[in-house]
Amino acid sequence: MEAPARPLLRRLQRLELAVRAAVAQRREGDPQPDDPFRGLYLSDEAVDAALAAAREPFAPWPAGPPDRTAESGDRLATLAAAAGLTALDEALLLVALAPDVDSRFEQFYGYLNDDVTRRRPSIGLALRLCGLSEAVASARLRLTAGAPLIDLALLCVDSPDRPVLSRGLWVPDRVGGWLLGADAPEPLLLGLAGPVAPAGPPPPGAAPLGRALARAGARLAYLRERPGGSAAALAVAALDDAGRRALAVDLPRLAADPRPADLATALVREALLTGAGLVVGPVRGDEPWAVWSRLTAGEVPVLAYGTQPWDPAWTALAPLQVDVVPLTADERAAVWRSALPGGLADGLDPAAATAQFVLGEPAIRRAASVAVQLATAAGEPVGEAHLRAGARTQNAAGLERLARRIVPEVGWDDLVLPAPTLSLLHELAGRARHRDRVLREWRMRPGGGRGHGVTALFAGDSGTGKTMSAEVVAGSLGLDLYTVNLATVVDKYVGETEKNLERIFGEAAGVNGVLLFDEADAIFGKRSEVRDAHDRYANIESAYLLQRMETFDGLAVLATNLRANLDEAFTRRLDVVVDFPVPDETARRALWDRCLGDRVPRAPDMDLDFLAAAFELAGGHIRSAAVTAGYLAAGAGRPVGMAELIGAVGREYRKLGRLTLESEFGRWLPLAVG
C-alpha cells in the first residue's frame, strides 16, 4: 500500500463504523427488512413508519470528529489546511469520496438512501452520517456556493432539480486521485498550464516579492512588463523564494476557451493540491470577469503579468503592482555566461555581441540554446553570427502581419555614399548598440515618460540609397528590417490611422528589429491651419504621432523624398538626420561597377567612365539600368556591352520622362533611341 493512502484508509475505517451504526439504526425502523424488492418501491408500511417515527441523525462517528493534528502524510489534512476547510468539511469530503476508494460503500449508500440506483451519498445522508440534523443551516451552507468545498470544486453536487437533501455528492477524479497519492496533472489543463521551475539565479526583485507572498500574505500581484523585462521569470523565482512551485497558465488560451470559468476553477484547485502558485499571462485586458473572479477565489497566490496598466475593474481584490524593468548590462552578461558555459569562439563576449537586442532572461536562455545548436550543426565554436541568429528567433511574429520583414543581405561595403553620410549611419548603429548604457544606466533621457528608442530620418531623392542604408544598418546590428506598408496604416475613417500606428509601434517595441517607414511624409506630414474638419483631424493624427515617437522604445527609420514636408516638431524627436545626396561622377562610376558585379561577363567596349560622366542618375536608377542590361545581354546570348547599357539607360530616361539628347548620349544616341 502506498504511504499517502494509509491515513485516508484509516479515516475510511472510522467512517465504516459510522455506516454500520447507521445501517443498524435503519434496520430497527424498517417495517419490511426481508422484502427482496426493498429500495425499488415504497410500501404502505414504509410510508406509515416514516410518518410515525421522528427523523433523528445517525450516531456520531465513533472516533469523534477528524483529528486536526493528523499524522504525517495525511493528504486530506494537508488539503484542509491549504483550503481552509473545517472539520465538518473534511468529514463531508470523506463521505463523498468513500465510494471511489472502497466499492462496498456504493452498496452501503444505496441501502441508506433507500434506493439501489443511488450509490453516492445524498446531502441529507452525508449530514446525518456526520451526526448532524438535516435542518442545521450552518451545516447545509458548507455545501453551497461561497463555501470552499464548492468554490474550489473539491466536492460537486449533482441533480440541481432535486430537493436539496436528495442531491448527490461526488468528488472529482483529480481530487480523489491526489488524496490517494496520484500526482498526475489534471487532464483538462493539458496544453493550458504546466509546472515550470526557476532557470538560473533569481532575477532582481524576486526576494522582496517572495517575502510579500510568504509573510505578508499577498494573494494577487500584477507584474507590468517593460520591453526586455522578464515578468514570468520573476514570478517563478518569487514563488520559489516563498517555498511554492509555479504553475504557468496561458491566459489568452484560457480566455478563449468556451468554459473559461470552469477551467479557472480547475487551475486554482490544481495549484491548491500541488502547493503551487499561479503565474498567469500575458494579460490583454479582454479576459472575462468570471476568469479573474475564479482565479482569485481561493488562497492560492496568483501572479499575473502583462504590458498594459492594471485595471481595478478586473477584480475586487486589489493586487500588489510591480514594474518589471529590463535587465541591466551586467545582469544580461551574467545570464549569457550561465547559459553559455563553454564552447565559445576566442575573445567572444556574448553580452557585447548582442547588446543591441532587448531580451529578457528566458529569451536569452532560448537564444543561447539556438546558438549552440547552430554552431554544433556547423561544426564550429559559438560565434557572433550564431548568437545574433539565436537572438532573432526570439522575435514575436505579430509585427510581420503589419510590416514586411527583410533579412539583410548587404553590408557596409555595398554602400557608395559620401563620407559624412556614412559617418552618420555608423553613428546610428552605435546609438542602437549603446543605448542601454547611455539611456538606462547613465539616465541621459530621464522623466517625462520618454522611451528608450532610437529614431532617424533618411532624406533624399528617390534612388539615393535610403532603403538600402536602413538594411545595412539592420544587418550590421544583426537585426531584421521591417518595412511598414502604408496600406496597412492609412485609413479614411477618423481615428483608424492612429489605431493602426499604435498596433505597429506596440508590436515593434517587443521585436528586435529596425522599423522603416518609407515615404514617411505621407503620415508624418506638417500640421496646417485649421480651416475645416479635415484639417482638424489631420492635425490630431500628427499630434498623436509626435507623442508616440517620444515614448517609442524601438529602432525606427523614417525615409522621405520630401524632407520639407515633414513637421518641424519631428526634427527635435529624431536622434539622427541623414541627408542622401545625388551621387557625383566618382560615386556614379563606383555604382556602375558595383551594380554590374564581378560575375557578369563584360564586353571589351564597356566604358563605365563615359556612363558615369554622361548620365546623372541616382543609385537606384543605375541598379535598374544594370539589371535591364543584364536581361538584354542574356537574351542576345553575349556579354554585357555598351549596346545593352546604353539601351538600358534609354529605357530609364523614358521612365523618368527625360529626353534622350545627343549632348548626353553622343555617338551612342542611336542605341538609346532604338
Angle at Cα 667 formed by Cα 662 and Cα 668, nearest 5°?
Answer: 85
Quick one: pLDDT at residue 534? 52
- Range of the structural domain that residue 626 is part of: 585-673
Quick one: pLDDT at residue 453? 82
Quick one: pLDDT at residue 634? 95
Structural domain ending residue among the three candidates 524, 545, 580: 580
Are 421 and 527 members of one domain? yes
Average pLDDT over residues 222-243: 90
Q: What is the CATH number of the domain that holds 427?
A: 3.40.50.300
Q: What is the pLDDT of residues 265-295, one digit of tens each?
A: 999 999 999 999 999 989 988 888 889 999 9
Average pLDDT over residues 371-390: 91
Confidence tier at 63 by pLDDT (50, 70, 90): very low
Mean residue pLDDT of the chain comes to 84
Q: How long is the chain?
A: 674
Structural domain ending residue among the three candidates 545, 562, 580: 580
Stated as kind and residue range, the H or E segment containing 459 is strand 454-460
Q: What is the pLDDT of residues 117-140, one digit of tens each?
A: 888 999 999 998 888 888 889 999
Of 478, 474, 481, 473, residue with least CA distance to 385: 478
Q: Is residue 405 part of a domain?
A: no
Confidence tier at 538 by pLDDT (50, 70, 90): low
Name, of 110-114, 405-409, 551-555, the range with top average pLDDT. 405-409
Q: Is residue 623 part of a domain?
A: yes
pLDDT at 54 over 60: no
Are 166 and 254 members of one domain? no
Are 217 and 107 members of one domain? no
Are 518 and 666 members of one domain? no
Beta-carbon neighbour count of residue 21 at 10 Å?
17
Q: Is residue 407 part of a domain?
A: no
Quick one: pLDDT at residue 49? 56
d(CA 190, CA 257): 13
Q: What is the pLDDT of residues 295-322, one digit of tens each?
A: 998 889 999 999 888 999 888 888 999 9
Are 320 and 225 members of one domain? yes
Cis peptide before 282 (omega within 30 of 0): yes
Q: Is residue 404 part of a domain?
A: no
Q: What is the CATH number of the domain that holds 650?
A: 1.10.8.60
Total-model pTM: 0.76
Are 306 and 343 members of one domain? no
Average pLDDT over residues 604-613: 93
pLDDT at 662 over 90: no
Are 342 and 200 members of one domain? no
Structural domain ending residue among the three candidates 309, 324, 339: 324
Confidence tier at 450 by pLDDT (50, 70, 90): low
Measure Cα distances from 613 to 396, 583, 662 in Å: 48, 11, 14
Q: For the chain, what is the largest distance between any 2 Cα atoms, rounded to a whole number of angstroms? A: 129
Q: What is the CATH number of the domain that holds 388?
A: 1.10.8
Quick one: pLDDT at residue 224? 93
Confidence tier at 435 by pLDDT (50, 70, 90): confident
d(CA 569, CA 549): 11
Q: What is the pLDDT of residues 454-470, one digit of tens each?
A: 889 898 888 899 999 99
Least confident of 428-437, 486-495, 533-542, 605-614: 533-542
Least confident of 39-53, 83-97, 574-588: 39-53
Residue 232 bridge partners (DSSP): none
Quick one: pLDDT at residue 69? 43
Q: What is the pLDDT of residues 13-26, one digit of tens each?
A: 888 888 778 777 76
pLDDT at 264 over 90: yes
Are 341 and 464 members of one domain? no
Angle at Cα 628 formed by Cα 624 and Cα 634, nearest 5°?
Answer: 145
Quick one: pLDDT at residue 36? 60
d(CA 674, CA 654): 12
Quick one: pLDDT at residue 235? 93
Count of domains forming the chain: 5
d(CA 466, CA 558): 9
Cis peptide before 319 (omega within 30 of 0): no
Q: Is residue 575 part of a domain?
A: yes
